[in-house]
């Protein structure tokens, strides 16, 4: 990314032969990966915000759908909204809850599900991913690890009711849900379903990673791991 940033910088021509200007370009290009990451994260936040507002609107709740779409348009990202709207109508999504914070006290983790909805009469737990477009014009496919997030959501024990008041209720969306990953791009939206046959393996991996994380925290909090030891006292003559 740094090399590409230098090559595509319009100031490169005038910087050739000027060490000071070349150093300035190199210094700026060294941040290319971080800038890309931060830009992608901000774009993802704007797309997720729009998706949440559409769900709230469909549920008859207060929403800011228009403002969320304007924020996308201001960043030349409105095609994401257009493709999402097409997906929403085509799949006839019936939202039940949006941006649901869940908790599992047995294993010890919390997280947020983007959407709980019924599609075609089937209960679905949905995770959105904002994705770029490949050279073929198709949205880039999802990483299979999205299954771990969805499996963890399906194993929730409680869900937040009022975050301000801190009230929770038992998780009520565990009736054999379909787990869907939705890749939202500027040219299309791709929907994939977690294969039920692999869910136990992915849940096992998630559970194992949680145990490793917990063990690491215990080691970190345990104190000094190595202490210097001096030599023994001299033997008596």
Q: Is residue 228 part of a domain?
A: no
Q: What burial class does residue 140 get, using C-beta atoms within 10 Å of its C-beta: 0-12 exposed, 13-18 middle, 19+ buried?
A: middle
Range of the domain at 158: 17-218
Rounded CA separation 147/195 (Å): 9
- Render pLDDT for 113-156 as a digit per residue (tens, 0 to 9): 999 999 999 999 999 999 999 999 999 999 999 999 999 999 99
The pTM of the full predicted model, rounded to 2 decimals, is 0.82
Q: What burial class does residue 164 get, using C-beta atoms within 10 Å of its C-beta: 0-12 exposed, 13-18 middle, 19+ buried?
A: exposed
- Render pLDDT for 57-73 as a digit per residue (tens, 0 to 9): 999 999 999 999 999 99
Rounded CA separation 143/195 (Å): 14
Q: Is residue 9 part of a domain?
A: no
Q: Is residue 233 part of a domain?
A: no
Per the structure, the count of domains in the chain is 1
Closest-CA residue to 55 (of 126, 122, 149): 126
Q: Is residue 223 part of a domain?
A: no
- Segments in 16-159 forming alpha helices (H): 19-29, 32-58, 65-74, 78-90, 146-154
Tokens (6 digits) for 48: 């997720």
Q: Is residue 149 part of a domain?
A: yes
- 143: domain CATH number? 3.90.320
Rounded CA separation 172/103 (Å): 12
């Amino acid at each position: 990314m740094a090399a590409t940033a230098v090559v595509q910088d319009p100031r490169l021509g005038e910087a050739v032969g000027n060490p000071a200007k070349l150093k300035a370009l190199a210094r700026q290009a060294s941040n290319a990966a971080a800038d890309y990451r931060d830009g992608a994260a901000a774009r993802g936040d704007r797309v997720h915000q729009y998706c949440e507002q559409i769900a709230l609107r469909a549920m008859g709740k207060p929403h800011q759908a228009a403002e969320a779409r304007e924020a996308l348009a201001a960043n030349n990202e409105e095609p994401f909204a257009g493709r999402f709207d097409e997906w929403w109508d085509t799949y006839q999504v019936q939202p039940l809850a949006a941006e649901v914070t869940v908790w599992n006290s047995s294993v010890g983790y919390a997280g947020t599900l983007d959407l709980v909805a019924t599609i075609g009469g089937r209960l679905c737990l949905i995770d959105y991913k904002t994705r770029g477009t490949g050279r073929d014009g198709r949205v880039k496919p999802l990483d299979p690890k999205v299954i771990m997030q969805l499996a963890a959501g399906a194993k929730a024990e409680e869900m937040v009711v009022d975050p301000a008041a801190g009230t929770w209720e038992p998780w009520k969306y565990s009736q054999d849900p379909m787990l869907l990953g939705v890749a939202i791009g500027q040219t299309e939206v791709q929907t994939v379903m977690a294969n039920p046959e692999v869910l136990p393996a992915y849940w096992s991996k998630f559970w194992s990673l949680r145990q490793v994380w917990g063990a690491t925290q215990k080691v970190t909090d345990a104190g000094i791991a190595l202490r210097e030891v001096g030599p023994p006292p001299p033997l008596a003559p």
